Amino acid sequence: MIAANLPIQRPRDARLLLVRADGRITHAPRSRFVDFLTPGDVVIANDAATLPASLHGVHVASGAEIEVRLAGRRSLAVDGERAPFLAVVFGAGDYHVRTEDRPPPPALSAGDRLMFRGPRGVAGLAPVGAEGLSATIEALLDHPRLVALRFDGGARALWAGLARQGRPIQYAHISTPLALWDVWTPIAALPVAFEPPSASFALDWGTIRALRERGIAFATITLAAGISSTGDPELDRRLPFDEPYRIPEATVSAIRRARELGGRIVAVGTSVVRGLEHAASRDGVVRAGDALADQRLGPASRLRLVHAVLSGTHEPGSSHYQLLRAFLDERTLATASATLEASGYRTHEFGDSVLVEKQDRAVRDAADVFEREHGIASAA
């Protein structure tokens, strides 16, 4: 696949690969997404706004330049909450260098202080600490790059400091600096995501109006989507980190109505699948409220709620691709991946999309058994 290297959320030529439950594959313009849904369905998207979660500064004990990428938190609370952040720390450099090629940070210890600077301006980098944002490493988390980080000062100072000094997390496939508006979806609400829930880039208010005109409901959850890559294979295998989420009562009602009408639950993004399936994991019933999604979805997972997912295109081996293995048998997923590659679909957050329908579990299990018995290589 080709890396999408321009921060355009809804390019006119965006494409959609539809993968049906029976294995049929169809190409379409992404703007036709609504055409593949039916009255009675409910489309559920993640309305989290994206934080400026990349911070540059200095590790005070060594004087070394660092970049901190905030990567998780156990709460959605914005005000009056000082729970530590999960963070990945890099050495000197920025997004122009591929994440996997970034140097490690200096040796870190609990109690170390980090001082941050404002973003690069006309006169270069602002002095370290010029805007007053600083943090303390509360704990090391079993990896040289992974720490629990607590910011100094109150909640108001924290959010003001992030707004002044933070940048959106960015990767080397996009060469120009991302602005915050580049990573906020059209439905962005509470600023709690660390990277954008980018499947929702496909939506706009015209899409939502078209859904409702066709008898298809639209609802949201809020989930603090985490980072997609740490640059370290061992650490990447732990992704996704635990993610807090909130399901409003209106969404619970929309799910209930869809079930009564025989409609499908269509998730916009893997983050929505994860949140909804966690909420339904106890007894298949979704309840309103806050919780923490701490499960990993993959080929052994039995989806209890979601029937289809609109997602970006993902490369085998990524945590997002692993989640798609809960929807399709290995052969169908491998065929879809090969089709995306051969057809030049664009990948990453500003790329094209796939709409994947969930296969019947018995069909999936039979297909996987057949592949194992006949030595067919896994798509993983």
**Residue 126 pLDDT > 60:** no
What domains can you pick out in the chain, each with its CATH number? 2-50+180-373 (3.40.1780.10), 54-165 (2.40.10)
**Residue 125 pLDDT > 70:** no
Q: What is the per-residue pLDDT across 142-199, written as a single tens digit (0 to 9) for each? A: 999 999 999 998 888 888 999 999 999 999 999 999 999 999 999 999 999 999 999 9
User: What's the pTM value of the predicted model, to 2 decimals?
Assistant: 0.92
**Residue 129 pLDDT > 50:** no
- Please name the residues in contact with 74: beta carbons below 8 A apart, sequence gap of 6 or more: 83, 242, 244, 292
Nearest Cα to Cα of residue 350 among 120, 132, 100, 178: 178
Q: Categorize the per-residue pLDDT at 122 as very low, low, confident or very high, splitting at 50, 70 and 90.
A: very low
What confidence score (pLDDT) does residue 376 get? Answer: 58
* Bridge partners, 69 (sequence order): 54, 88
Q: Categorize the per-residue pLDDT at 123 as very low, low, confident or very high, splitting at 50, 70 and 90.
A: very low
What confidence score (pLDDT) does residue 308 get? Answer: 98
Q: What is the per-residue pLDDT across 229-256, written as a single tens digit (0 to 9) for each? A: 999 999 999 999 999 999 999 999 999 9
C-alpha span between 354 and 27 (Å, rounded): 9
Mean per-residue pLDDT, 246-269? 98
- Helix, strand and coil percent figures for the chain, each rounded to 5: 25, 25, 50
User: For the chain, what is the mean pLDDT?
Assistant: 91
* Bridge partners, 2 (sequence order): 346
**Residue 369 pLDDT > 80:** no
